[in-house]
Amino acid sequence: MKTKKSERAAKYPALILGAALTFMLGISACHGGNSPENTGDSGTETIMQTSWAHSYSNISELDKSSDFIGLVEIIGELRFEEILPDGVAQKTEGVYTIPLTVYSAKVLDGIVSDSDTIEIVMTGKAGEVQIADDPLMSAGEKWFIFAAKNDDGTCTILGGPQGRFIYYRDSDTISSLKYSAYSRSELESEPGLQMTDLKLSEVKAEIAGLRSK
C-alpha cells in the first residue's frame, strides 16, 4: 500500500491526545510466541516507549470517554499514513513523522455502535515500528474495545492498551491487554487497567446500567 503523508495532526485528535511519544529505541524485534503475529519481515523493528496522557481506572471511566464500545474482528490493514507530532506545522530537518496504520474491523457485538464495520487508527507500522505496550493488530483477531471517534469518522482505542481487551471465546471473558503476553512493555510504572477474566455479559450489563443513568 502507498503511504500517505498528512501535515494535520488535528485529523486524529483522539490519537494525538492518547499518547505522548517520549523516546524511540531502534532494537531488534522479538519475534517470539509472546508477541502478535503481524510483526512483518524479520530484521530490525523500532520499538517506541510511550507515556499515556490519561489513565483509566475502571469500566465506568472508559465508558464516559467512548463513542464506540464493542467486540470487533480485525478484517485487515486498509492503509498507512504519516502525521507530524502535535504542535508541528510542517516537516523540517530533524522532525520525525508518526506512522499510522488504519484497520478495517467487523463489529461482532456492538454495545455502543452505529455501524457494522469501523476503521481503527493505531500508531505504528508492522515490521517497521510499534509501541511496546500497544502492539499492532492482525487480521482475524478479536478484541473488545473502548474507542473515541476522530474527525474523519475513524476510531482510536482509548489510552492505547487500556481500552483494548483480549477476548476469550471459550469462556466468553475479556482481560486487559497491558498485562497479557501481547505486551512488550517493561515500564512497570506506566498506568493501565489490570482486569482479568471479566465475564462479557457482566461488562455489557454494567455499561447498559451506566448509559441508562
pLDDT of residue 12: 64
Domain spans of the chain, in order of start: 3-211
Record the cell numbers describing residue 57, joined without a space: 481506572
DSSP string covering the chain: --EEEES-GGGSHHHHHHEEEEEEEEEE---STTS-S---SSSEEEEEEEEES----SHHHHHHT-SEEEEEEEEEEEEEEEEPPTT--S--TTPPPEEEEEEEEEEEEEEE-S-SEEEEEEE-BTTTEEETTBPPP-TT-EEEEEEEE-TTS-EEETTGGGGEEEEETTTTEEEESTTSTT-----TTS------SEEHHHHHHHHHHHHT-
Position 17, amino acid: L
pLDDT digits (tens, 9 = 90+) for 89-132: 777 777 778 899 999 999 999 999 999 999 999 999 998 988 88
Tell whether the model's pLDDT for residue 55 goes beyond 80.
yes
Of 56-60, 101-105, 173-177, 191-195, give the lowest mean pLDDT range. 191-195
Tell whether the model's pLDDT for residue 181 goes beyond 90.
no
pLDDT of residue 80: 94
More confident residue, 3 or 133: 133
Tell whether the model's pLDDT for residue 173 goes beyond 80.
yes
Tell whether the model's pLDDT for residue 206 goes beyond 90.
yes
More confident residue, 193 or 71: 71
pLDDT of residue 167: 93
**Cα–Cα distance between 56 and 191 in angstroms, integer?**
8
Find the mean pLDDT for residues 126-149. 92
pLDDT of residue 52: 78
At CA 50, angle to CA 47 and CA 52, rounded to 5? 150
Q: Which of 15-24, 72-81, 173-182 has the highest mean pLDDT?
A: 72-81
- Kindly report the average pLDDT of the chain as a whole number: 78
pLDDT of residue 50: 76
Tell me if 77 sits within 8 A of 68, measured CB to CB.
no
pLDDT of residue 142: 95
pLDDT digits (tens, 9 = 90+) for 67-99: 999 999 999 999 999 887 776 777 777 777 889
pLDDT digits (tens, 9 = 90+) for 20-38: 444 343 333 333 333 333 3
CA dihedral 24, 25, 26, 31 (to 10 degrees): -110
pTM equals 0.78
